[in-house]
Amino acid sequence: MKAVNWNRPDDDFTLTFWQQNVMQFWTDEEIPLSDDKMDWMEMSDAERTLYKNVLGGLTLLDTIQGGVGMPKILEHVDGLQRKAVLSFMSMMEQIHAKSYSSIFTTLASGEEIDAIFKWVEDNEQLQKKAALISSWYSNITGPKELYKAMAASVFLESYLFYSGFFYPLYLAGQGKMTSSGEIIDLILRDESIHGLYVGVLAQELFQTFSAEEQQQLQAEVYALLNELYENEMIYTAHLYTPIGLTEEVNAYVRYNANKALMNLGLEPHFPEEPVNPIVLNGINTHTKQHDFFSKKGNGYVRTIHVEPLSDDDFVFNF
């Protein structure tokens, strides 16, 4: 048995990713979600249902990634420092999952929350994409299967989350539900660096295969992408048709599918097309979410014991 020795780097990038992950650390308790209650009351029933369901879907994916995906991959990755980074990322996925429950607690009744998680269990397309990704995680028997699991992880982090991210970003970009939107911003920033790191590991592993093996693996990865895409189109139609945003969400999903492929060093699969500028700004690499190597974030400040202001706060006894 060996102990991790950070004085002897595994490579020239893992320490940087470790430091950035630590710098980005946050918890949901640091965001005052009660600020969203007024916006929530002004939303229609269809809008509230959509918001709850997309966050329910995201909770399932984060649960899988934190409890299955990252642990399975780190078990088979060489390098103790790399395992440490993946373990930290796994923990953050659990924080993401918990943060959605914090949003639910703030905005919904206990009965409504139970209904959200029942919907998650019953939604065919959501369960299908969870099963597809999980099947690639559960079959790591060698280097090729490890590569495929890494590709599935990148698809989850850089692609499948985004049909759920669309609506919170869409509202926050219009000044609505901004506290919950801040949590989505923080999650986006984490997911982007997770997808990038696992993508780098996948590209490194890919180079160890023969040309014939690479060709076969690429074919399998694109086949998974297409199967996930077909399922995602049904999923987004069910979610977004009631408020008329399906086509905009689908364009956003295709955009992020291409970004996931770029993280894997592969060619884009979908042609370029316009994407809703409000939502696109939420993942702009020149703004808060993907600004990996600078300050923590866009208006995010770590706070402790957050309390709302009251009239007493403005009574000064000189």
Q: Quick one: what percent of the chain has pLDDT higher than 90?
A: 85
The reply, when asked if residue 111 is annotated as ligand binding, is no
> What domains can be seen in the chain, in order of their start residue?
34-296 (1.10.620.20)
Please count the residues of the chain: 318
**Lowest-confidence pick of 13-17, 172-176, 222-226, 299-303:** 299-303
- pLDDT at position 280, please? 85
User: Residue 305 pLDDT more than 50?
Assistant: no
- pLDDT at position 140, please? 96
What is the tens place of the pLDDT at every residue in 155-182?
999 999 988 999 999 999 999 999 999 9
The reply, when asked if residue 93 is annotated as ligand binding, is yes
Six token digits for residue 222: 């694109």
Q: How confident is the model at residue 289 (pLDDT cuts 50, 70, 90)?
A: very low
- pTM of structure: 0.88
- Tally: H helices and E strands in the chain: 13, 0
User: Residue 313 pLDDT more than 70?
Assistant: no
Alpha helices in 207-245 (DSSP H): 211-240
User: Residue 290 pLDDT more than 60?
Assistant: no
- pLDDT at position 162, please? 86
Alpha helices in 108-140 (DSSP H): 110-122, 124-137
The reply, when asked if residue 305 is annotated as ligand binding, is no
The reply, when asked if residue 157 is annotated as ligand binding, is yes
The reply, when asked if residue 191 is annotated as ligand binding, is yes
- pLDDT at position 287, please? 45
Six token digits for residue 80: 């103790």
The reply, when asked if residue 62 is annotated as ligand binding, is yes
User: Residue 282 pLDDT more than 80?
Assistant: no
Task: Specify the amino acid at residue 114.
Answer: D
- pLDDT at position 119, please? 98
- pLDDT at position 261, please? 97
Instruction: Answer for the pair 88, 22: CB distance below 8 angstroms, yes or no.
Output: yes
- CA distance linking residue 214 with residue 221, whole number of Å: 10
Instruction: Supply the residues annotated as catalytic.
Output: 100
User: Residue 285 pLDDT more than 70?
Assistant: no
Instruction: Answer for the pair 189, 24: CB distance below 8 angstroms, yes or no.
Output: yes
- pLDDT at position 281, please? 81
Burial 96-118 (b: 16+ CB within 10 A, else e): bbbbbebbbebbbeeeebebbee
User: Residue 231 pLDDT more than 50?
Assistant: yes
What is the tens place of the pLDDT at every residue in 201-212?
999 999 999 999
- Determine the average pLDDT of the residues in 230-255: 96
Q: What is the mean pLDDT of the chain?
A: 90
